[in-house]
Chain A
Amino acid sequence: MSLNSNKFERIPDRLPPINSIGWVAWVKQNLFGSVSNTLITLLFFYLIFLYIPPFLDWAVFNANISGTDRSVCDDNKSGACWTFVKVRIEQLLFGLYFTLNPDQTWRPILAFIVFACLLIPLVIERTPHKKWLLLTLIILYPVFFVSVVGGGVFGIPESDASQWGGLLLTFALAFVGIVLALPLGILLALGRRSKMPIVRSFSIIYIEFWRGTPLITILFMASVMLPLFFPSGVEFDKVVRAMIGITLFQSAYTAEAVRGGLQAIDKGQTEASMALGMGYWQQTIFIILPQALRISIPSIVNTFIALFKDTSLVSIIGLLDLLKIAQNSSRSLDWNGYDIEAYMFAGLVFWMFCFGMSMYSQKLERKLDTDRNTE
């Protein structure tokens, strides 16, 4: 009994033309959208064609990895000599002491494994009790690291810190710098904004002094000048001196990054917390800092990444960090001439650490950002 025998029926949408969907469209739109785009695309394809295949030939297809001495590489100079990296891997990662005493190599390996075990759950979002984990990493882990790698306790033979090297040393310097510089930096940033004149001027002088001095100068002073003020025989390990120098330097930069966050917090927040009867420390710890640190994460991580790379400056005071030991290894009679491989390896390890830090900070930002939006 329907009036309209001609029912309105929905005709299915026609598919878009083949050249506006899928990868064809993507290529057309992004790579060959206009004349200039097309030219740039072609140029880059040409450059890729020019440089990537020879590089891959060198680094992968023709590369040498077999054998244990340079004769393999000398016979085939058209490829990279990864045999060198393979033979020297312990030296590059842990330094001379642990290479000279292969039965002790488990110590740095254990230290790195424990670090990974603590760090990975921290990165995974759903882990419970993150605070305790973080505290373990910051407070207990350094003690563990020093006793296992440094030795001298529990019957583990002592290893002189100045004989550490490679990634182990780079890691130790950067870890100490990061863990100690953050609290120091926060205190300095608060100090700089304090109303107490002595605290404020001390913080300003401190920050401006350390920020105005190049790290290389600080390291040089720590290495060369400091011992002159101790009587001979009083030994103050070079690594410890470098750690102190790096921490003092880094805390000034962290302070400025944190101060940026503090300045972005609206005055209303302070006033509101005052109205609730909170004292200075309560305000700071519960209201101001959580917000300020959240804002300053990118710049803090930025300084940490810079620090990780800056640790290679310790080679100026004769410490064999990852970069320096790579260089020295490739200057030995067994392997001289294969310095490019050494530098590529060091570069790759540096990149992995820095990229990891960068990824983590981006993840943290996204997470905190969503938290804020749903509040």
Chain B
Amino acid sequence: MKKFNLILGAVALIGFTFSSAATASTLEEVQARGTLVCGVDGGVAGFAAPNNDGRMVGMDASTCDAIAAAVLGDANAVKYVPLTAAERFTALSAGEIDVLSRNTTHTLTRDATLGVNFTYYNFIDGQGFMVAAADGLSSVDDLDGASICVQSGTTTELNMADYFRNKGLDFTPVGYSTSVGTREGLEGGACDAITSDASQLAAIRSETSNPSDWTMLPEIISKEPLGPVVRQGDDQWLDIVTWTLHALINAEELGIDSSNVDEMRDNSPNPSVARIVGSEGETGPSLGLSQDWAYQAIKQVGNYGEIYERTIEPLGIARAGSVNDLWSRGGIIYSPPIR
């Protein structure tokens, strides 16, 4: 996998040097085109998957919607491109997509070698373990000697090996090629526990025939900050995507949501609110956007909390007090001031 990543990195770099030379700014391209082209996974519940009407919904898809609302004034002006993990960075480097919003973990190697820039995080994930509730396990330490279902060939498998070796615990990995496979393994009794990213575990749990039979262990053994990624070399676009996320978070801090944004714009005495909704200051124009950029994003898509509630909560991942809660409520979701 590492070698493969390296090759991809090289390919992406070539693509970057090729494409950056002739490119107009991404903002101009998007505005000329009238749609935002957004790379998503397309098959991950809660992040991006088609709903009954054929629209991509989820945290990653909503992030795209918010960017489109901020840039174009229309949250529906998005073309979603489903991408596999292997081709996501190349698609970005080659200019096929404007922004990659595909549950992508921010790591040093990716940031430094792939010709891409990470913006901010829309979900902070981490690898966890899920076991049968009836087994009464309370910690990963209880898993000594257990067999654990895992998707083979992933960093998840390596993380687990590192963690268990470090703790001096024994385990038997049971590999599957898909996450559906790991679920069937767990339900069928092929293993005592299953490991994956916490959001994945929640999705898997919601797919089992009786979700309350399964429980997650408290340990989170890896850091997986996920967020949108842009091409390197276009700082204005990097700012736009980053600050769109910040605007959604700021809006939640200030209590602005999609239902009260009009009222707040007209009546709120708070200058921070006025700066976000565009009735004061020059926040939009300094990014190259219109004055009401953040207003449009909040009005059409909702603030960060609303998006989380709509997309991630139904998976069964509670937000209150978790890392994904606002910094003021014990989480680590924090945004610099918009002024």
Question: Which residues in A have some Cβ–Cβ distance to B below 8 Å?
Answer: 68, 77, 87-88, 90-91, 95-100, 160, 162-163, 220, 223-225, 227-229, 231-233, 235, 238, 315-320, 324-325, 327-329, 331-334, 336-337, 339
Contact = CB atoms under 8 A, between A and B. Distances in A.
A332 B54 contact: no
A79 to B, nearest CB: 12
Contact of A317 (B29, B43, B44, B84): B84
Given A96-B50, A317-B84, A333-B311, 13 more contacts: A100-B53, A100-B54, A160-B79, A224-B87, A224-B94, A228-B14, A235-B96, A318-B81, A318-B84, A324-B43, A331-B203, A339-B180, A339-B207
Interface stretch (B17-25, B62-70, B237-245): B17-25
SS of A interface (majority)? helix
Given A332-B45, A333-B314, A336-B206, A316 B52 contact: no
A88 B50 CA distance: 10
Given A227-B15, A227-B95, A318-B83, A333 B46 contact: yes
A239 to B, nearest CB: 12
Contacts, number: 123
Interface string B37-50: 00000111110011
A97 B50 CA distance: 11
14 contacts: A77-B209, A96-B50, A96-B54, A100-B55, A228-B90, A229-B18, A235-B96, A327-B43, A328-B49, A329-B49, A333-B45, A333-B49, A336-B206, A337-B207
Nearest to B315: A333
B109 interface: no
A73 to B, nearest CB: 11
Contact of A228 (B11, B57, B208): B11
B51 interface: yes
Contacts of B56: 96
Interface of B: 11, 14-15, 18-19, 21-24, 29, 42-46, 49-58, 79, 81-84, 86-87, 90-91, 93-96, 180, 203, 206-209, 311, 314-315
A220 B45 contact: no
B54 A91 contact: yes
Nearest to A329: B50
Contacts of B86: 220, 316
A318 B92 CA distance: 13
Among B14, B22, B94, the most chain A Cβ lie within 10 Å of the Cβ of B94
B45 A317 contact: no
Contacts of B203: 331, 336
B110 to A, nearest CB: 17
Given A224-B11, A227-B94, A232-B95, A331 B44 contact: yes
A229 B93 CA distance: 12
A331 B57 CA distance: 11
In the A-B complex, the 10 residue pairs with the closest CB atoms: A99-B54, A232-B95, A337-B207, A332-B49, A328-B43, A232-B19, A227-B94, A100-B54, A96-B54, A318-B82
A165 to B, nearest CB: 9
A235 B79 CA distance: 14
Contacts of A333: 45-46, 49, 51, 57-58, 311, 314-315
Contact of A318 (B45, B52, B87): B87
Nearest to B49: A332
B54 A97 contact: yes
A319 B21 CA distance: 29
Contacts of A328: 42-43, 49-50, 82
A220 B90 CA distance: 11
Nearest to A101: B54
Contacts of B95: 227, 232-233
B19 A334 contact: no
Contact of A331 (B22, B23, B43): B43
A332 B314 CA distance: 11
Contacts of A98: 54
B207 A336 contact: yes
Contacts of A229: 18
A324 B314 CA distance: 23
Contacts of B15: 227-228
Nearest to A68: B52
Nearest to B231: A232
Contacts of B43: 324, 327-328, 331
A329 B24 CA distance: 36
A108 to B, nearest CB: 13
Among B45, B91, B206, the most chain A Cβ lie within 10 Å of the Cβ of B45
Among A223, A315, A318, A337, the most chain B Cβ lie within 10 Å of the Cβ of A318
A328 B314 CA distance: 17
Contacts of B90: 224, 227-228
Nearest to A90: B54
A120 B19 CA distance: 49
B208 to A, nearest CB: 7
B84 A316 contact: yes
A238 B84 CA distance: 14
Contacts of B53: 99-100
Contacts of B79: 160, 163
Contacts of A228: 11, 14-15, 18-19, 90, 93-94
Nearest to A100: B54
B57 A318 contact: no
A162 B29 CA distance: 19
A229 B94 CA distance: 9
A370 to B, nearest CB: 48
A318 B96 CA distance: 12
Nearest to A229: B18
Among B46, B49, B208, the most chain A Cβ lie within 10 Å of the Cβ of B49
B82 A320 contact: yes
Contact of B49 (A162, A235, A318, A331): A331
B6 to A, nearest CB: 15
B102 to A, nearest CB: 10
Contacts of B96: 227, 235, 238
Contact of B50 (A77, A319, A332): A332
A131 B96 CA distance: 42
Nearest to A325: B50
B55 A332 contact: no
A235 B97 CA distance: 11
A12 B321 CA distance: 96
B51 A332 contact: yes
